Structure 1
């Protein structure tokens, strides 16, 4: 995949591109602690003539130097800039947090996109009434933010964190190895993630306090939209991030079409070859 720069008022936003951009284009947004490398298997599964343009969202990957504020509105703006740089309507896809950013982008400027594909994300997650957003953030993303502040003696030691993750260990692959190494930065003895902890905290809080806004986005969609979701969650456990009752609630209220992708979890829905093929089938339909 080739490096591409997307112009923003704050400086270039980095992206990875497969294909020459001459045919149909998929514009993709990754998860809250991830990077453009999440989509390597999807890019490889696309038919000849298709291009995938996967962003490093600001605060992540090679876009980690771009400043805040963060949040779904800001990421939606960046997605719109990338679509305009392509110069014609694109298929818009997002996984996990990227699904919420893609949903916001599609709701705000539907003319930039031909269809929307949400991958294990995009549905408002129930937040208990009266819950403290910061307490919810600590309970859900606190461990991830702690990891982002850690340093490791070598790149291999950093990769081992991913290699032994309960959702990844049984499905470890060259793609996952490349993904982890892409995320590593720093000198020996001080290897760390490229992801900015403040970006994760800000985006996580925005998802919590803005859950109702995501519901409004879903109900107001004016372009074809699909949801692909995993049966297992962030630690490889059942149920997944989007339990069946939640999926049914939103497909009953909207025109969203939903499909369960078998035998995968919140991460391997992108990296497993069979799951990636299922995603590509919907992206190109």
Structure 2
């Protein structure tokens, strides 16, 4: 792998300023737009960037996350999709490929629907097709059912970065995949509590997480975009979920029904990963880099 550092770019969007990480490459290098998950940040793509030294990677902190957590106004898949369009306009890019993980994959599908001129191909990583979400739940119950401890963490407070890293060290998803890059990614998520105390909290807005989870699971935004999907799309699924549990986000019967409904989506299954390690581990990033390279070759063919 090649060590790379993202430079920070601030992009004006409705309600504030979006922080964007850009891993630069040669002027003639292909550009991918990378979209992170529901409580994540642009640093989710650090390992992938190191696996792809000849590729320019543009990755925003979505509104309500990372250093974009102060962006005001409504969220939801359409708002995030429009933010991606603003990023492309600000940086004057037309990405050869959109790579998106988890909730970011739902954003990417809606981005392709709302801004088709900016999307040539989609690579969706364990997200983007409807989840098997329980019906008739309140917004908080829906978030708890889908995200569980991932959402509960957003209300927690930590004395310092070491305490936060100890919390994550016990997480079953990363038992075999801890790395310095993962630590950097986790620490980036921390901000001081609003009352000026010494404690730290995750940067991700719980309210925005609820709004996004409700939108992508109960409203027609995503299904309408999928029904109109007109670009080559690959979906990667993994068998284990956010807690390394089985089944993952896409139980086999549910996934089979989705692939029958959306036959144009090309599906690949990677049995060796969970929902996090497919992006946030060295082995996941290496496997993903191979697929990105293949998709880029098709994009320019």
Q: Please, what TM-score do these two structures have when normalized by structure 2?
A: 0.87
Aligned to 1:227: 235
Query: Deviation string for 1:215-250 (max 9, x for gaps)?
Result: 332221111111111121111122221223333323
Aligned to 1:244: 252
CA RMSD of aligned residues (A): 2.0
Aligned to 2:21: 16
Q: Pick one of 80, 83, 102 that aligns with 2:85.
A: 80
Between stretches 69-78 and 160-169, larger displacement belongs to 160-169
Between stretches 212-221 and 100-109, larger displacement belongs to 212-221
Task: Quote the Cα distance in structure 1 between the aligned partners of 2:25 and 2:188.
Answer: 22
Aligned to 1:154: 160
Aligned to 1:35: 41
Aligned to 1:202: 211
Instruction: Structure 2 unaligned segments of length 5 or more: list them.
Output: 1-5, 295-301
SS of residue paired to 1:27: strand
Alignment of 1:45-194 (within 5 A): 45-48=51-54, 50-90=55-95, 91-141=97-147, 143-186=149-192, 189-194=198-203
Between stretches 129-138 and 101-110, larger displacement belongs to 129-138
Runs of 4+ in 1 over 4 A off after TM superposition: 128-134
Contact 2:99 2:125 in 1 (8 A): yes
Task: Quote the Cα distance in structure 1 between the aligned partners of 2:93 and 2:61.
Answer: 21
SS of residue paired to 1:146: helix
Contact 2:277 2:284 in 1 (8 A): yes
Between stretches 152-161 and 83-92, larger displacement belongs to 83-92
Task: Quote the Cα distance in structure 2 between the aligned partners of 1:129 and 1:202.
Answer: 16
Q: 1:20–1:209: structure 2 CA closer, same or farther, 3 Å change rule?
A: same
Task: Quote the Cα distance in structure 2 between the aligned partners of 1:103 and 1:154.
Answer: 37
Task: Quote the Cα distance in structure 2 between the aligned partners of 1:214 and 1:249.
Answer: 16
Q: Pick one of 275, 282, 296 that aligns with 1:266.
A: 275
Q: 1:176–1:214: structure 2 CA closer, same or farther, 3 Å change rule?
A: same
Q: 1:69–1:213: structure 2 CA closer, same or farther, 3 Å change rule?
A: closer
Q: Please, what TM-score do these two structures have when normalized by structure 1?
A: 0.92
Deviation at 1:131, TM superposition (A): 4.5
Contact 2:126 2:235 in 1 (8 A): yes
Contact 1:264 1:272 in 2 (8 A): no
Deviation at 1:47, TM superposition (A): 4.5
Contact 1:141 1:204 in 2 (8 A): no
Q: 1:115–1:7: structure 2 CA closer, same or farther, 3 Å change rule?
A: same
